[in-house]
Amino acid sequence: MWKPNLTFLPEYSDTIDRLIEKKELLDASRPLPTSALIRIKEALSIEWTYNSNAIEGNTLSLQETHVILNDGMTIGGKSMREHFEAHNHDKAIKYVSELVERGSAFSSIAILDIHELVLSNIEDHYAGRIRNGGVRINGANFTPPNALKVPELLDELIDYILHNPDHLDIMSLAAVFHHRFVWIHPFFDGNGRTARLSMNLLLMKSGFPPAIILKNDRKKYYAALNKANKGDYSKIALMMYQAVERSLNIYLDILPHDEDSDYQPISTIVSEPDVPYGQEYISLLARQGKIDAHKEGRNWVTTRKAVRDYMVSKETTTV
C-alpha cells in the first residue's frame, strides 16, 4: 500500500494555518459582491487556461487566450491544436465548476471526463482512456509504471484521497494527489493539464479558489515534481500553498481593508523607514512561504502588515 512521505508538514505549519485563516475570513465575508465575483472568476479562468497550457508548450499569450475564448476569434500564426487546447481547457474548467456545484464525488470517472475534454478534437482516440502502453517523459528522473498497473494505482490514489488516512489539510492533500497522479501518468498525453484540473476539483469542492501554477515558474515546478519523485514533497507542497495564497489574496482584495494590507512590490515595502530588512531577505521569506506574499508575473508582492507580523514573530521567539 502506497503512503506519501509527509515529513514536509511541520516546516509549513504556520503557512497552512495562515491560509486556513484566510479561507475562513473569505467564508465569513460571503456573499461577496456579485459583479466583482464574476470578474474574478472570469479572470482566473483565463489565467488558469493560459498558464496550464503554456506549461505544456502552448505558445498563445494571455491576451491571445482571452481573445480566443471571449471574442471567438482565431489568432494568425497559431496552430489549430493550440486553439483547441484553449477551448478544451475552458470547457474542462466549466465542467469542474459544474461538478463542484452539483456536489459530485471525486472519482476516476470525473478524472476520465476531464481528460476527455482536454484532448477533444486533438487526440480523440486517447481522450478519456487510460494508456495501454509504456511512456517516457523527457527531463523527468523516473519512468512511469507499467500500463497494466495503472488502473490499480489510480484506484489506490483516489481511495487515499477520499479517505485521507493521514488527516491532511486539503491543500497538502491536493499537492500529494498532484504529484502521485503525474507519477502514475495514467494517459499517453494530457496528464499535466488533467492533474492540475483534478487537484483544483479537490480544492474547489472544499470551498477554496483554484490554485494556478504560473508558466513563469515552469522550471521550478518540474524541479519540484522531480524532488517529489525522490520522496521529498516539500517543494511541490510549497508551490501549492503559494498558488492557493495568490488566489485567496485576489478574492480577499475586494473586501474593505486598510492601506497596510495592500499588496505592493517588495522594493516598495523595503523603502519604508521602519522596515529593517533588505529586498533580498524579504524576497527569500516570500519564496519560502514564511510571510504573506504571492507572485504577480515574475515579481513577488507582499504587504506592510505581513512584514510587521514577521518582525513581531521574530521578537517573540527571541524573548
Active-site residues, by number, are: 185
123: Cα separation from own chain's centroid: 25
Alpha-carbon distance 117 to 23, whole Å?
30
51: Cα separation from own chain's centroid: 10
Alpha-carbon distance 75 to 68, whole Å?
7
β-bridge partners, 299 = 296
Confirm if 133 and 188 have CB atoms less than 8 A apart. Answer: yes
- Cα 115-234-92 angle, rounded to 5 deg: 15
31 upstream amide cis, omega within 30 of 0:
yes
Confirm if 240 and 225 have CB atoms less than 8 A apart. Answer: no
Q: Could you tell me where the DSSP H helices lie in 56-167? A: 62-71, 80-102, 108-119, 150-163
